[in-house]
Amino acid sequence: MTYSIIELATDVPTQLEQLGTKTKFWYRDQNGQSMLFKEGRPGTGENWAEKVCCEICHLLNLPHAEYDLAVWKARKGVVTPNFVPEGARLILGNELLAKIISDYDEAARFQVRQHTVRVVMKVLSSPGLAVPLGWPAPTVIKDAAGVFVGYLLLDALVSNQDRHHENWAVILIPDKGVFFTPTFDHASSLGRNESDQTRMERLSTRDKGRSVEAYVLRANSAFFSTKASSKPLRTLEAFLEAAKIRPEAADYWLKKLAEIDYEKYMAILARIPDVEISAPARDFARRMLEINAERILQSWSNINI
């Protein structure tokens, strides 16, 4: 059965959300739940990519924002329940890093060399910062840094290039504490922006340089190894840096990854309605997932030999 597309009433928007790059607004659904509608740019595949990643998070047991496909006034997007409780405050990664790094470039989103895996892992190891609210943490995941290792594994699996400092955050709940956010904003992944022609060519070529294997190697993260690095880390390198800092958490997330049967990826892609995703986009995304899963597992076993 395909995933349903939630139809929003035309008069629904209540409050525009300024953060991020896409058109989005907050509203309350029929149960009074605060929801965010985020419009995908037409023809970009952002909506299906968000939904597919959400389902993959579920397979990995990652704390994640829920997403459903949605449409408002013929504009296609996704909806997500607000993970920030009433009266609480969201503090984004850039705001946190600016507090500890004096010349931190808060306004930039990419090419921020101070956005290193090491510094983010350090912030997320702060005593008093709890794992996402309501998430039943397995015993080996002791803090937000351990959870973040899982987010970076996800990014390597789906080739998400968009984990910049506004795509991770903490939630300050007065009288209750500070909690890491669930993972959110995975729309820039799975080759969703490639043309079908490119996808088909890459899937069938004999030219190794044009293959899907070569394509996934080039996925850049939004992290640098050190502030002196000239180029960003690849998504797999970012995961491995975090994994080395929290190896017991990495083992947990890698085990979850190893347990996923590849058929499950295709089953998720098959549930996206045909009007949202083409056959080559499905095949290409599935191939990316298979190749990435294999190289993530392989890279960790190489380190542990």
Q: Which residues of this chain interact with ligand ADP, rule CB under 6 A?
A: 17, 19-22, 36, 38, 65, 80, 82-84, 90, 166-167, 184-185, 187
| From ligand ADP, Mg ion, none, interface partner of 48 (C-beta below 5 to 8 A by class) | none
Nearest Cα to Cα of residue 257 among 117, 150, 160, 121: 150
| From Mg ion, ligand ADP, none, interface partner of 242 (C-beta below 5 to 8 A by class) | none
Phi-psi region at 51: left, alpha or beta (left = phi > 0; alpha = psi -120 to 50):
alpha
| From Mg ion, ligand ADP, none, interface partner of 179 (C-beta below 5 to 8 A by class) | none
Query: Going by C-beta distance under 8 Å and a sequence separation of 6 or more, which residues neighbour residue 29?
Result: 35, 79
To ligand ADP, the closest distance from the beta carbon of 193 in angstroms equals 13
Q: Which residues lie across from 6 on neighbouring strands?
A: 70
Nearer to Mg ion, 186 or 202 (CB): 186
| Contact present, 189 and 158 (Cβ < 8 Å) | yes
Residue type, 300: W
Interface ranges with Mg ion (CB under 5 A): 20, 167, 185
The phi and psi torsions of 130 (rounded to 5 degrees) equal -95, 165
To ligand ADP, the closest distance from the beta carbon of 23 in angstroms equals 8
Nearer to ligand ADP, 83 or 104 (CB): 83
Nearest Cα to Cα of residue 37 among 68, 64, 63, 11: 68
To ligand ADP, the closest distance from the beta carbon of 21 in angstroms equals 4
| Contact present, 183 and 132 (Cβ < 8 Å) | no
Nearer to Mg ion, 50 or 241 (CB): 50
Pairing of strands 5-8, 68-72: parallel
To Mg ion, the closest distance from the beta carbon of 223 in angstroms equals 15
To ligand ADP, the closest distance from the beta carbon of 26 in angstroms equals 9
To ligand ADP, the closest distance from the beta carbon of 30 in angstroms equals 18
Torsion angle of alpha carbons 132, 41, 55, 1, nearest 10°? 140
DSSP per residue, 128-177: TEESSTT----TT--SHHHHHHHHHHHHHHHT-----TTSSEEEEETTTE
To Mg ion, the closest distance from the beta carbon of 109 in angstroms equals 9
CB-nearest residue to ligand ADP? 20
Q: How many residues does the chain have?
A: 305
| From ligand ADP, Mg ion, none, interface partner of 247 (C-beta below 5 to 8 A by class) | none
Nearer to Mg ion, 116 or 167 (CB): 167
Nearer to Mg ion, 50 or 185 (CB): 185
Nearer to Mg ion, 184 or 300 (CB): 184
CB-nearest residue to Mg ion? 185
Nearer to ligand ADP, 37 or 300 (CB): 37
